[in-house]
Amino acid sequence: MEKRRCGFGFGTKGGPVSENYLLYHDMRWCKPEHSDGELFAMLVLEGMQAGVSWALILDKEENFRRAFDGFDPKIVANYNEAKVEELLRDKGIIRNRSKILSAVSNARAFLKVQEEFGSFDAFIWSFTGGKVVDHHLKDAADMPAKDALSEKVSVELKKRGFKFVGPTIVYSYLQGIGVINDHEETCDFR
C-alpha cells in the first residue's frame, strides 16, 4: 500500500516531484534536529531558498555541502573575498553574492550564539522549551507562511546579526529542523 503524504507539493496535488523532495519530506521535514552542524546547514539552505523553489535547493544540496566545506560554521566564518569569488563561479550552487555573504556572516553569528548558549541547539529550541509545536493540520491550506513564533525567532536572530532570517524564512527553517511539525494529520510521515 502506498504511503500517504501531505497534500502540498508532494505529488498528491502538485504533480510529480523529485526523489530528493520526497526523501526530504519523508525523512527530514518536521523531524526534530539537534545537531549544530545540521542546524547551521539548514539555516544556510533556507536563506539560499529565498526567491527560488525548495526543490531546486534540494537538487543542489550536495553541491552546497561540498562548496561550503560541509557547512562547518568555523570554516565558513573565515571565508575571505577569494573564497566568495570562488563560490560565485560555482555553477552547482545559487550564485548570489548577498546570499553567499549572508552565509559567512551567519556563520560568525552562529558561533557567537554557540559561545553564549553552549550550542545553537540550546538557543533555537529554547523558544519552545524544547518541545515540538505540532499544528495538527487537517489540510495544507491551513499552514501559515509565518506565525508569532517565527516572528519572535526572526527578531532575535536579526538582533544577533543574522541575515536572510525574515519570519517566513524562519518559519520554513523551524519546520525544516522539526521545531514546528506541519505534517498533515493524514500523512504517514508525521
Q: Looking at the annotation, which residues are catalytic?
A: 24, 46, 54
Report d(CA 111, CA 88) in Å as an integer. Answer: 24
DSSP lists the bridge partners of residue 133 as 180
Report d(CA 7, CA 117) in Å as an integer. Answer: 38
Amino acid at 89: R
Q: Which helix (H) or strand (E) holds 60?
A: none
Q: How far is CA 146 from CA 21, 82, 142, 150, in A?
A: 21, 36, 12, 6
Report d(CA 25, CA 43) in Å as an integer. Answer: 17
- DSSP E strands in 56-165: the ranges are 133-134
